[in-house]
Chains A and B, each alone.
Chain A
Amino acid sequence: MTISIAEVKKIAQLARLELTPAEEARHAETISAVLDYMKILNEVDTGGVEGTYQVTGLTNVVREDRAINCDVRDKLIGQMPEVENEELVVPAVFGEES
């Protein structure tokens, strides 16, 4: 397989995704098939070709830097999973685990 279970575990950790062993095996298999298919691109001579990262041709789009009252403060707080004194509660950043 192009991508091993160990590599899937490593990427999943980087991407902050908890996977079951069955999922790890399934992803290793299906992603290997996808990556193998991608090898078709090696047939294309891209020497001297610049990459395309956008299609509009727009560059340095700017707007006036001004504050706007969005009036959604309460709604935003209402969407937070845990709130105390109108502040978002987050888990401790410095835990024992990685």
Chain B
Amino acid sequence: MELNELTITQAAEGLRKKKFSSVELTKACLARINERNKDINAFITVADESAMEEAKKADEMIAKGEGRMLTGIPFAVKDAICTADVRSTGAAKILDNYLPPYDATVIKKIREQGGVLLGKNNCDTFGHGASNENSMYGPVKNPHDLTKVAGGSSGGSAAAVADNMCIYAIAEDTGGSIRYPASFCGVVGLRPSYGRNSRYGVMPMASSLDTVGPITKTVADTALVMEVVAGRDERDATTVSDNIPKYSEEITKLGNKEIQKLRIGVPREYFDVAGMNSEVRAITEEAIKRFKSLGGKIEEVSLPHTKYAIAAYYIIVPSEDSSNLARLDGIRYGVRAEAGSLYDVYARSRAWGFPEEVKRRILIGTYALSAGYYDAYYKKAARVRTLIKQDFDQVFDKVDVLISPTSPFPPFGMGEKAADPLAMYLTDVLVGPAAVAGIPALSVPAGKTAAGLPVGVQIMGPRLSEALVMSVGHQLSFY
């Protein structure tokens, strides 16, 4: 096994036992990036020089006995998350030259442990997309089949982990952007509960939905990263101060006895969506059967407002998006267009620096929030959001977790949906509702189609039930 193929657990053990150094591990990842990135386009920026310096420092930390869980482990970060002195474009040309003066809190916590930042992952610009075809730095290709999309918006992160260009990645999920590409690329992705991890330093998309989480090769690795990055942050007033469980230990506690007490809900509406692929359905049912065979109680449940989630989501998100993106105007940082008047500087910088989908969302959001339309769109969507949230609250009185496919279909072809924004929005149908409700949801690889394309299943739980959601996901990795 090559070093870059290791999981966090394996790499940490190898470093601790001095089987190899962080410098060697980092070189292996950089070599893989060098070999594969031209085909996959998972990285916008590779920070090879600073990565090697960080690896040397990490080796010194380990030699002095100061090594911690993520010390010396090379990781990659979605480009919509700020990294100090490493270019962070958010996949937008308006930030083509942007060097953030600070680290996002989640990144700071990893760097304090001596994590090695390899570079910045391609994504749909500012997270706007489900296929990673909306990046101004070109689309990301699926490592399992280069003619297919990697999924979005964190496609670069998922592809980089799947193709062993890094040991793990940190990404962002507003309405599926971690889980969706994780399922398409055959890796693990966790959207934590809203407020569990700090959003400070994350380029904001929809502030009431944005979350930061890991994309990893195993659920055990997701648990390890969450232990390091979770928690209250004074710089993000929406973070919660609830206790952070020792996730990596918690996930091993779900033994056969506990599974027999587990009530697993299968939401009917999630299997009835238009375009549900038969192989995806079969693979998901197989995963559910595994719990049944172990004695888990499987119960069909209903989340009646599921079919309204995407409409509510695509009003709330562009509305918050359009407000948040007002800050990018070419005045204080980023790229400024040459123009005479102030209005033209704004309008041309934004015209040049944003791709079509970002413009579309700004327009939809501005429209939905404008006088005369606010009640009909934004307020209506916020009320429907309440009903979607109540659906989950009620169902979690009856069951402990929910299992569904992550996507109704396996990875689709490049360009297949690119010309139809509404069709692309509707691909979020199974990942959007959990985001609207602010609950945790994990995508775990559950099998492959006959054509060899990965299929992920999604496990959702009540707010702050990450330990349980990951425990259930961890069980699925045993078969």
A: which residues have CB within 8 A of B? Answer: 3, 7-8, 11-12, 14-19, 23, 26-27, 30-31, 33-35, 37-38, 40-44, 46, 49-56, 58, 61, 63, 70, 72, 75-76, 78-82, 88, 90-93, 95-98
B28-36, B96-104, B118-126 - the one binding chain A: B96-104
8 Å CB contact of B311 from A41, A80, A88? A41
- How many angstroms between the C-alpha atoms of A46 and B308 in the bound complex? 12
B348 located at the interface, meaning its Cβ lies under 8 Å from any Cβ of chain A in the complex: yes
Q: Please, which residues of chain A bring their CB within 8 A of the CB of B243?
A: none
Task: Check if A23 sits within 8 Å of B359, measured CB to CB.
Answer: yes
- The listed residue with most A CB atoms (<10 A of its CB), out of B332, B341, B367, B425, is B367
Q: Is B195 on the interface with A (CB-CB < 8 A)?
A: yes
Q: How far is the CB of B440 from chain A (nearest CB, A)?
A: 12
Q: Are B195 and A18 in contact (CB under 8 A)?
A: no
Once the chains bind, are A16 and B386 in contact (CB under 8 Å)? no
* Across-interface contacts of A11 in B (CB, < 8 A): 363, 366-367, 370
B contact residues vs A (CB 8 Å cutoff): 85, 98-99, 101-102, 194-195, 208, 234, 237-238, 240, 305, 307-308, 311-312, 314-315, 322, 326, 329-336, 339-348, 350-351, 354, 356, 359-360, 362-364, 366-367, 370, 377, 379-387, 389, 421-422, 425, 437-438, 463
B318 (CB) vs chain A CBs: closest residue: A34
Q: Across the interface, which residues of A come within 8 angstroms of B101, CB to CB?
A: 70, 72, 75-76, 79
Q: Quick check: B344 and A97 within 8 Å, CB to CB?
A: yes
Contact present for B383 and A50 (CB under 8 Å): yes
> Which chain A residues lie closer than 8 Å to B382 at the CB level?
51-53
C-alpha spacing A12/B344, complex, angstroms = 12
Can you spell out 17 A-B residue pairs with CB atoms less than 8 angstroms apart? Answer: A12-B363, A15-B362, A17-B362, A17-B363, A30-B360, A38-B377, A44-B384, A44-B387, A51-B382, A51-B386, A53-B208, A63-B237, A75-B99, A79-B99, A81-B330, A91-B342, A95-B342
State which of B194, B335, B422 has its C-beta within 8 Å of the C-beta of A33. Answer: B422
Q: Are B238 and A44 in contact (CB under 8 A)?
A: no
CA separation between A23 and B195, bound complex, in Å?
37
Q: How far is the CA of A58 from the CA of B232 in the complex (A)?
A: 12
Do A55 and B333 touch (CB < 8 A)?
no
Give the chain A neighbours of B343 by CB distance below 8 A: 16, 95, 97-98
Q: Would B238 and A34 count as touching, CB distance under 8 A?
A: no
Shortest CB distance A37–B (Å):
6
Q: Which residue of B lies closest to A92 (CB)?
A: B342
Which of B99, B101, B234 has most chain A Cβ within 10 Å? B101
CA distance A11 to B372 in the complex (A): 13
Q: How far is the CA of A52 from the CA of B385 in the complex (A)?
A: 6
A-B pairs with lowest CB-CB distance, top 10: A51-B382, A55-B438, A95-B341, A81-B336, A75-B101, A46-B383, A72-B101, A18-B351, A18-B347, A16-B346
CA distance A12 to B335 in the complex (A): 20
Contacts of B347 in A (CB 8 A): 16-18
**Contact assessment for B237 and A61 in the assembled complex, using a CB-CB cutoff below 8 Å:** yes
Which residue of the partner chain B has the closest CB to A97?
B341
* Given A38-B377, A88-B332, also A52-B389 (CB < 8 A): yes
- Determine if A41 and B351 form an interchain contact, defined as CB atoms under 8 angstroms apart: no
Whether the pair A50, B308 counts as a contact (CB closer than 8 A) is no
With A51-B379, A79-B99, A80-B332: A38-B315 Cβ-Cβ less than 8 Å: yes
B139 to chain A, nearest CB (A): 19
Specify which chain B residues have a CB less than 8 angstroms from the CB of A7 in the assembled complex. 367
Q: A12-B363, A17-B347, A41-B311 are in contact. Are A58 and B240 (CB under 8 A)?
A: yes
Cα-based distance from A70 to B101 in the complex (angstroms): 10
Question: In the complex where A37-B311, A52-B386, A55-B389 touch, is A91 in contact with B341 (Cβ < 8 A)?
Answer: yes
Contacts of A18 in B (CB 8 A): 344, 347-348, 350-351
Which residues of A have CB within 8 Å of B339?
A: 91
Q: Give 14 new A-B contacts, CB below 8 A, not counting A58-B237, A81-B333.
A: A15-B350, A15-B362, A17-B363, A31-B364, A31-B367, A34-B425, A41-B308, A41-B381, A51-B379, A51-B383, A55-B194, A79-B332, A92-B342, A95-B343
Residues on the B chain within 8 Å of A61, using CB: 237-238
The interface centre, meaning the residue of A16, A75, A79 with most chain B CB atoms within 10 A of its CB, is: A16
Decide: A15 near B351, CB < 8 A? Known: A38-B314, A46-B383, A79-B99. no
